[in-house]
Structure 1
Amino acid sequence: MQQALANDWEQRKLGELYKPVYEKNDLSFETDKIISVAAMRFNPEAVVSDREYLRTYNVMRVGDIAFEGHSNKEFSHGRFVENVIGDGIVSHIFIVFRPNTSYDLWYWKYAINNERLMRSALVRSTKASTMMHDLVANDFLSESIPVPSLSEQHKIGALFARLDSLITLHQREDLPPRCALATILSVKNATIITLERWISPWSSLEAPTSPNSYPKSAAARSRLSLAFAVAARHTC
């Protein structure tokens, strides 16, 4: 079972997966399309004194990634953030990288932002400065990380998209705190299991309604634990 799962993954150089792009804004994008990389949201409050200055901004399209270099307890050497909100523009201080190959948007949203997966590559491809880290693009592109096959990316990405939807639902509904907490913990556990142990997600994405329905196989339980977050509100 472990060998079969491992065959869906391989070490890939980041330079095979991404390329730096320097697409400048030709004023097709106005201030309402300025993206806050740290929050990955459009920032309509951004103030630009001269419209022509928007030409200095780099275009960041859906699926592109940019490096946010501020360090904190969660991200010791900064982090990459993927654009999942729509085409927009970012400050010229950000280098934008664009996918070179077919990819799953939702898988890479989490993978490229995962400290456990990316830390070693970032340790070797960043330089410390005051309160943040600067990325050395060529060093970053020469690093390698484990990458699943495209079909495996789609499975994992579909699961993460479901989890995102569930979290949004919890934020909108008046659910017991214990249910929301169980879901959030399950989401974190799912990320760790998927990216560190290379366990495929449960392919059907239909979560069990009771923990008693878990199979006895350890590998199957690991896969089901990913999907179980989807049903967390039903098992609280």
Structure 2
Amino acid sequence: MFPSGYPNWTTPSWEQRKLGELCTFSKGHGYSKADIRDAGTPLILYGRLYTQYESRIEEVDTFTVEQDGSILSRGNEVIVPASGETAEDIAVASSVRRSGIILGGDLNVVTPTGKLDPDYTALAITHSKAHDDLARRAQGKSVVHVHGNDIAEVEISYPSESEQKRISSVVLNLDSLITLHQREPRFADTG
């Protein structure tokens, strides 16, 4: 108990639920590296989640000609690779914050339906115990796969949406600082 005069330091309540209760699930539409063009509609291919993109995707540097049946982002999706080399590799997520981006094949598209902020959801899948839970659900040997129904069974803990946004902001800003620091040239001390 705090002495009188101290503020009430209560912890906001957190909930824990399966992602299947809080999100809808779909799949991206099949595109490959051969479909990449210098201009056209922005495109995210699953392989670039490992090499190019961070936890939050705002800009895309690959383009294509839109095909019939393409899945276009609305700006609040979370994408999770559907296959990869290891279970830990595919138990990662990125939030897509812009609309009009084609979500290529081999991507699980997770759309929070309220209560969950997309940035928070992506960070929780990648960095919380949800990551280990999703990695355990991956199937396969030389190539592992994860499906929407696997992601739906993963439990996530979350506070209020305003608190989720604050947590995401801090983590994403720190992530950006680390990335900038890693890009700085390193010079040997000569002397």
TM-score grouping bracket, smaller chain normalisation: 0.5 to 0.7
**Which residue in the other structure is 1:89 paired with?**
102
**Which residue in the other structure is 1:149 paired with?**
160
**Partners of 1:62 and 1:104 in 2: CA distance:** 12
Q: Which has the higher contact order (CA 8 A, sep 6+)?
A: 2
Instruction: Please report the TM-score for the alignment, with normalisation by the length of structure 2.
Output: 0.64
Seen in structure 2, the aligned counterparts of structure 1 residues 32 and 13 have a Cα distance that, compared at 3 Å, is same
Q: Secondary structure at the match of 1:76?
A: helix
Residue of structure 2 aligned with 1:9, choices 2, 5, 14: 14
Seen in structure 2, the aligned counterparts of structure 1 residues 145 and 151 have a Cα distance that, compared at 3 Å, is same
Q: Secondary structure at the match of 2:75?
A: coil
**Partners of 1:77 and 1:169 in 2: CA distance:** 23
Residue 111 of structure 2 corresponds to residue 98 of structure 1: yes
Aligned residues: 162
Seen in structure 2, the aligned counterparts of structure 1 residues 60 and 152 have a Cα distance that, compared at 3 Å, is same
Residue 133 of structure 1 and its aligned partner are, at CA, apart by 2.0
- Return structure 1 stretches of 4+ with deviation > 6 angstroms: none
Residue of structure 2 aligned with 1:118, choices 117, 127, 131: 131
Amino acid at match of 2:45: S
**Partners of 1:174 and 1:22 in 2: CA distance:** 39
Residue 39 of structure 2 corresponds to residue 34 of structure 1: no
Consecutive unaligned residues of structure 2, counting only runs of 5 or more, are 2-8, 30-38, 54-58
**Partners of 2:69 and 2:146 in 1: CA distance:** 20
**Partners of 1:172 and 1:120 in 2: CA distance:** 32
Residue 88 of structure 2 corresponds to residue 76 of structure 1: yes
**Which residue in the other structure is 2:172 paired with?**
161
Instruction: Please report the TM-score for the alignment, with normalisation by the length of structure 1.
Output: 0.54
Consecutive unaligned residues of structure 1, counting only runs of 5 or more, are 25-29, 178-236
Residue 70 of structure 2 corresponds to residue 63 of structure 1: no
